[in-house]
Structure 1
Amino acid sequence: MPDFPFIFDTMGKLLAALPTTLELFILSISVGGVLACFITWARISPYKLLSLPARGYIFVFRGSPLLIQMFLVYYGLGQFAVVRHSIFWPVLREPFVCAVLGLALCTAGYTAEILRGGLIAVPAQQIEAARACGMSGLLLLRRVIAPIAIRQALPAYSTEIILMMKSTALASLVTVWEVTGVAQRIISQTYRAMDVFLCAAAIYLVLNFVLVKLTGGLEYYLTPHLRARPTSLSAGLRPLPPPAAGDASHG
């Protein structure tokens, strides 16, 4: 029989750590998204002085494990005297800030490639047509390129943000007490790993379900031309009326 009092008590403790998990997720996605925009701009630049460092950044952060990246940020930055004596050290020595920085740097590499793929998918004919109408610069980006690129990149980016939600669990390894960190602390006190981890998994399932619905709703809003039109479909399948007697074909 399940120990419901223990499960309810565990769920309450894990939910108390939920704001930390959400804060980790929102900050890392936001910082990583802004950084990814600059990396994408450099990646598609025709100048090698910009494109080569961007390619190197993407290669490093996509090719190495996130756990190692987070350990390098948390344990490695303090080994440099210039960092320890800088004005940023009071912030960078905080585990929460290191966790956000590690997650943001990692997701920026993946997001940059997703954005680049969305930009490549913009049809050249539509850009040429917009320029023929007199659009240029920011207006062309805002009215044509950005909406199409976002629609193309959104399915892949939705997967990335779900992965980032699950990756917040790694912050517990740098002493950030989010949902997984609290779950490990409860297990060390009670030795009931199955019950505790099932409660933690249920919380992540609900969070990812909400993210899937939100991204699905955004994709539905951004693609009105792909929505089903049942009235038009039913009208197209409606049988034709029988021909009049005088309209019979020859034969």
Structure 2
Amino acid sequence: MDIGFLYSTFLTLMAALPTTLALFALSVFIGGLLALLVVWMRVSGNPVLSAFAKVYIFVFRGSPLLIQMFLIFYGLAQFSIVRHSFLWPYLREPFDCAVLSLALCTAGYSAEIFRGGIRAVSAKEIEAAKAIGMSGFLLVRRILAPIAFRHALPAYSTEVVLMMKSTALASLVTVWEVTGVAQRLISQTYRTMEVFLCAAVIYLVLNFILLQAFALLEYALSRHRRAPSFATVDAAKTA
């Protein structure tokens, strides 16, 4: 195996890493905000909003992400109302279309994950909070949201990792992120194994960092569930 070629390929792919990270960060951030909106509509009790949220979740969970990306990138340009709207400067850009499609897709999955976290909150905890005078936004901020987020975190971490890998699809709409640059290198060098091996290593490292970050976050949020150490117990007895 040509070590020199692997090294040069790795450097070339690393130059495209900022584009991959930007795709990932924007899609997860926007998708998370959309998911909160969708899950609010889903549990609002309003039949119209709830029905809209159910349809949204069904569409974006039930259709392939690649088709969604193609429909947004190639399909929206077919409508003159879109081409003459204030959104056209953004929707004609491959990067913006890729971010939009990734965000819309992850919002559908994340909304169901968040809804599962909300349903996992014990009714007794909510009743206890109401008994001491909590209601409305205070109840959500102090009780519902923290507990629901802890329950949803393991599943949401999986969705975030999947979004990192899904950024590779952006290469099919001419966004030159890591996978797109890898495909271009293969068309120039015909060395598929070495190029994709370097790309795989980059994605593995990125996902490893993400998983470790979520593991640390989950560890920090579940501190109250861990058994106290012997030093803590001895200190409590001494006091």
Q: TM-score normalized by structure 1?
A: 0.91
Segments ≥4 residues shifted beyond 4 Å: 232-235
Q: How many residues are matched? A: 234
Within 5 A, what are the aligned runs for 1:164-183?
A: 164-183=163-182
* TM-superposed deviation, 1:230: 4.2
* TM-superposed deviation, 1:190: 0.3
* TM-superposed deviation, 1:234: 9.9
Counterparts of 2:114 and 2:155, CA distance in 1 = 9
Counterparts of 2:138 and 2:5, CA distance in 1 = 58
Query: Residue 227 of structure 1 corresponds to which residue in structure 2?
Result: 226
Which one-letter code corresponds to 1:45 in the other structure?
S
Q: Deviations over 1:86-134 (max 9, x none)?
A: 1110111000000000000000000000000000001000000011011
* TM-superposed deviation, 1:58: 0.2
Counterparts of 1:234 and 1:143, CA distance in 2 = 28
Contact 1:220 1:227 in 2 (8 A): no
Query: Residue 32 of structure 1 corresponds to which residue in structure 2?
Result: 31
Within 5 A, what are the aligned runs for 1:28-107?
A: 28-107=27-106
Query: Residue 125 of structure 2 corresponds to which residue in structure 1?
Result: 126
Within 5 A, what are the aligned runs for 1:152-191?
A: 152-191=151-190
Q: Deviations over 1:125-183 (max 9, x none)?
A: 00000110111111111111011000000000000000000000000000000000000
* TM-superposed deviation, 1:228: 4.3
Q: Deviations over 1:185-241 (max 9, x none)?
A: 000000000000000000000000000000011111111122243428998xxxxxx
Q: Which runs of 5+ in 1 are unaligned?
A: 236-251
Counterparts of 1:81 and 1:209, CA distance in 2 = 44
Query: Residue 21 of structure 1 corresponds to which residue in structure 2?
Result: 20
When the two chains are superposed, the root-mean-square deviation of aligned CA atoms in Å is 1.3
Counterparts of 1:234 and 1:92, CA distance in 2 = 60
Counterparts of 1:57 and 1:191, CA distance in 2 = 42
Q: TM-score normalized by structure 2?
A: 0.95
Which one-letter code corresponds to 1:229 in the other structure?
P
Which one-letter code corresponds to 1:82 in the other structure?
I
Counterparts of 1:234 and 1:81, CA distance in 2 = 70
Q: Which has the larger radius of gyration?
A: 1
Report SS of the residue matched to 1:33.
Answer: helix
Q: Which runs of 5+ in 2 are unaligned?
A: 235-239
Counterparts of 1:7 and 1:230, CA distance in 2 = 48
Q: Which has the higher helix share?
A: 2
